[in-house]
Structure 1
Amino acid sequence: MKRKIFATSGCLLLLMMGSQHSAQKINFKSHELSSNGYLRTGFGWSDGGQMVNFITPDNMHKFRMGNEANHYAELQFNYRYKNKDSVNLYEVTYMMAKFIPFGSDHYKQFPETTQLYGKINKVVKNANIWVGKRYYDRRNVEMLDYFWINSAQNSQIGIGLENYQIENSGNMNLAFMRFKYGNNDSHSYVTDFRYLDIPVSGHSKVNLLGQYSVKTEDDITNIPKSTGYAVGGWWTYSKKTISNTSTLIFRKGSSITESTYSGKTISENIGNKIMYNLDKASSIDVINNFVYDDQRRHAIQASLTYQYSDFGGGNIVENEIIIDNKVSKNLFSVGFRYLYYINKHFNLALEAGNDYMKNNRSGVEGSLQKVTFSPQVSWDYGYYSRPVLRPFITYAHWSDSFVGNTGVSDFNTRLINKNNGISFGLQLEVWW
């Protein structure tokens, strides 16, 4: 199966290379059809077995290069109708996606529909109205695949007004999303307001976020209704070879999400055990993402992330006795990826990172260090240039408290009693 996937990926690589400088569009009078997508695939081994991920317990992200034991693809189709003045009036977007962990047979399942929405453009002051299921203005740290804002993914449906222009003062966006949980009648609703691109100087802007959410009562699991909110913002700086984003976000109650790949409210229960009291739970995220790229000799991305989570209560033993007053979790991550350009088609890449985790509920505390080297074959200069082919070797070391939970998968348990491991393999990554 691995050979089939990678052979197909090689063909796709050739197709993508041949189309890098040609428009992915088909035009017929007032109608336009285009496509875009993403693909990563490859193969690898860890300690002589199926490749595994090196990630700390309870973490929401990891340093990616040489540390993605999966295949993943997205394919999106976009239809646009244009009037005589070449203004896009109507759009329909459909996207499907597929995630396959190394060693699994998930390839037998049909891809998931991840986006299907329509849009009417420039209704008022260049603002657009959209409705449907979509990824809504996601923001991430690419090196970590860490989506620190992802309000709409996995929603049932949403509706919004985006890009409402404020003269010389940025634009405003308002969205409303509905989520469904399992096969019962529990739902959550999120109102998301953003004021974006407020100019501070010629090279920097400020962006503001406000959310309000409600999760309905769940009669099956006896979870009561909860509410929540999120407030925060991020500052962006961009000038020639440098870009930087600094972020601060506070979340309360039902605005705490289950993962960075979903806008759903985190579950209060795991099994029959209460993990969160959403009436009191909160979290705070501090993120800084820096990129330098001269597109001739050097490029580097450096990131720092910190999250503090308050579970909203203490540990409870089986007889419902509270044995402490407060449970919290700390996650801290710092690292970089450096590229040294040999020429436009070849560069040397080094990624190193340290992740720290302390969970007062599980009593686990420790850190993981990971370093990866890859001589990359790329289409062009540029840190974000794709497609790229990465032969890699990765070494990771983790605390003894993580042994048995780090560097293992359903398809490889060879590192279950170890606190370090080595992976090597080949990865192809394409977006277009």
Structure 2
Amino acid sequence: MKNNIFTKIGFSLFAITGVLFKSQKINLHSHELSVNGYLRTGIGWSGGGQMVNFNAPESIHKFRLGNEANHYGELQFNYRYKNRDSVNLYEVSYMMSKFIPYGSNDYKQFPETAQLYGKINKVIKNANLWVGKRYYDRRNVEMLDYFWLNSGQNSQLGIGIENYQVKNSGNLNLALMRFKYGNNDAHSYVTDFRYLDLPLSEYSKLNFLGQFSFKNRNNIKVTPKSSGYSLGGWWTYSKKNITHTSTVIFRKGSSITESAYTGKTMPENIDGTSIYQLDNSSSFDVINNFVYDDKRKHAIQVALTYQYRNLGVKNTDGSNILLNNISRNWFSIGFRYLYYLDKHFNLALEAGNDYMKNNRSGIEGSLQKITFSPQISWDYGYYSRPVLRPFITYAHWSQNFSGLIGGSDFNTRLLKKNNGISFGLQLEIWW
């Protein structure tokens, strides 16, 4: 208990530091230093014990409001060198990050290096050259914390050209990332090409993605080399109080990643069990993300996500006769609504449904979750931070999911049930 108190105190001090440094810059002639970051921390309980997450089996994504049983922080330091015209010529950024589940004492270890990279700006036609380890132009659905495009996170090294301007027709971006697996010679490589912000009208734009990936043979885990590719695009619309993004992405082979929090290739074997055959596997995603915010009375985000994943292997009967392909379907739909009472106070309601089906395990069912929170905020705005959230959450799930939802290493009280309640207090801030 004492260690948990120290954890909360440490994260609170981190938050205070962030507020003090928010939007602050130190300028010394041609040199500029700045600090930015992100933090969420709090306390919570589920079923009379340590707070747990309510998320569907085999999915790490969930509707976040009142449903994040962890502390997480990022702190980034930036150096920029400017010329006499105040144009950024050189940049260096370093970011540390730390993730601690509720109930864990893992606060003594030093935060990991999440980003460390340098940039030379305006090398060719305003294009920037970068090299290092970085979060490379991540795209997400904030309500789900679902990074549907995240090519560079956890890379060992990357290099790229970004923002190469095409006259009146958007910009081109090209990057190459290298990933390392364990303490052996297994590596994977991802080439990422993007054509961004191709104008369709005054308010809408098209974006295109093409990737090629390669993973070499792992002699320790005895997995073959594999290759893969991704093709996709997204349409964005932004006008007055509305923003909307519609996305379609197809992935094949080694371009299928472990999760939305890394660009690493999905492992073929876990604890000696064959999970994927990458050369035969594929994934198809459809994402819609809509936000309306008048910053006076109402704000709402609506998200719809569908993912079909073919694992590349087949089910067999008792005689080892190959049957249907093993696949997984995930469908998620939900909303978060804010009613502004004034600049610093709003009422938030979030509700969502997740459906999951896996024809290998035979697991099929759904999870419903609803949260209410009277939020204390810094200003009007759906994305305004910092925000302090007292919350209460109710979740209900299919009987087939019993024992698979509502548990953690620190609380197993809900594992025999098909519903649960969480309540607590969360602070979230970015700057």
TM-score (normalised: structure 2): 0.97
Is the contact made by 2:125 and 2:164 (CA closer than 8 Å) also made in structure 1? Answer: yes
d(CA) in 1 for partners of 2:215 and 2:136? 20
Contact 1:161-1:174 within 8 A present in 2 as well: yes
Runs of 5+ in structure 2 lacking a partner? none
- Corresponding position of 2:417: 418
CA contact (8 A) 1:314 1:322 kept: no
Instruction: Report the 3-state secondary structure (helix = DSSP H, G, I; strand = E; otherwise coil) of the residue aligned with 2:314.
Output: coil
Contact map agreement 1:9 1:428 (CA 8 A) in 2: no
Q: In structure 2, what is the Cα distance between the partners aligned to 1:242 and 1:402?
A: 37
SS at 2:280's partner residue?
A: coil
Task: Measure, in 2, the Cα distance between the counterparts of 1:10 and 1:162.
Answer: 36
Provide the C-alpha distance between the structure 2 equivalents of 1:73 and 1:338, rounded to a whole number of angstroms. 26
Could you say which residue in structure 2 is the equivalent of 1:250?
Answer: 250
Cα shift at 1:187? 0.6
Contact 1:120/1:129 (CA < 8 Å) preserved in 2? Answer: yes
Offset at residue 415 of structure 1 (A) = 0.5
Match of 1:3 in 2: 5
Amino acid at match of 2:204: S
- Cross-structure match for 1:307: 307
Q: 1:318 to 1:91 in 2, by over 3 A?
A: farther
1:22-101 maps to which residues of 2 (within 5 A)?
23-101=23-101
Farther off after superposition, 263-272 or 310-319? 310-319
In the alignment, structure 1 residue 298 sits paired with structure 2 residue 275: no
Deviation, 1:83, is: 1.1
Q: Structure 1 residues 1-10 or 392-401, which shifts more?
A: 1-10
Q: Are the aligned partners of 1:5 and 1:41 in contact in 2 as well (CA < 8 Å)?
A: no
**Map of 2:191 onto structure 1:** 191
Give the conservation status (yes or no) of the 8 Å contact 1:2–1:43.
no
The residue type equivalent to 1:379 in the other structure is W
Identify the residue that residue 265 of structure 1 maps to in structure 2.
265
**Percent of residue pairs bearing the same amino acid type:** 72
**Superposition CA RMSD, Å:** 1.4
Amino acid corresponding to residue 3 of structure 1 in structure 2? I
Amino acid aligned to 2:415? I
Deviation at 1:133, TM superposition (A): 0.3
The change in CA–CA distance for 1:35 and 1:317 in structure 2 (over 3 A counts) is farther
SS of match in other structure, 1:326: strand
Size of the aligned set, in residue pairs, is: 429
Q: CA deviation at 1:7?
A: 4.0
Contact 2:21 2:35 in 1 (8 A): no
In structure 2, what is the equivalent of residue 384 of structure 1? 383
Task: Give the 3-state SS of the residue equivalent to 2:89 in structure 1.
Answer: strand
Query: Once the 2 structures are TM-superposed, how far is the Cα of residue 84 of structure 1 from its aligned partner?
Result: 1.2
CA contact (8 A) 2:15 2:39 kept: no
SS in 1 for 2:428: strand
Asked if 1 retains the 8 angstrom alpha-carbon contact of 2:18 and 2:37, the reply is no
What is the distance in 2 between the residues matched to 1:178 and 1:402?
A: 37
Does residue 366 of structure 1 match 2:365? yes
Alpha-carbon deviations, 1:302-357, whole Å to 9, x = none?
000000000112135899x3542311000000000000000000000000000000
Which residue in 1 is equivalent to 2:278? 278
Contact 1:280/1:311 (<8 A) preserved: yes
1:122-201 aligned within 5 A: 122-201=122-201
Instruction: Give the letter for the 2:219 counterpart.
Output: D
Letter in 2 for 1:103: G
CA distance in 1, matches of 2:8, 2:85: 44
SS in 1 for 2:415: coil
Shift of 1:270: 1.3
TM-score norm. by structure 1 comes to 0.97
Paired with 1:353 and 1:134, the residues of 2 have a C-alpha distance of: 32
CA contact (8 A) 1:214 1:227 kept: yes
* CA deviation after TM superposition for structure 1 residue 139, in Å: 0.2
Cα distance in structure 2, aligned partners of 1:144 and 1:136 = 19
Contact 1:17 1:379 in 2 (8 A): no
* Deviation at residue 16 of structure 1 after TM alignment: 4.7
SS of residue matched to 2:366: strand
1:240 aligns with 2:234: no
Task: Kindly indicate whether the alpha-carbon contact (under 8 Å) linking 2:12 and 2:41 is maintained by their aligned counterparts in 1.
Answer: no
For residue 324 of structure 2, give the secondary structure of its aligned residue in structure 1: coil
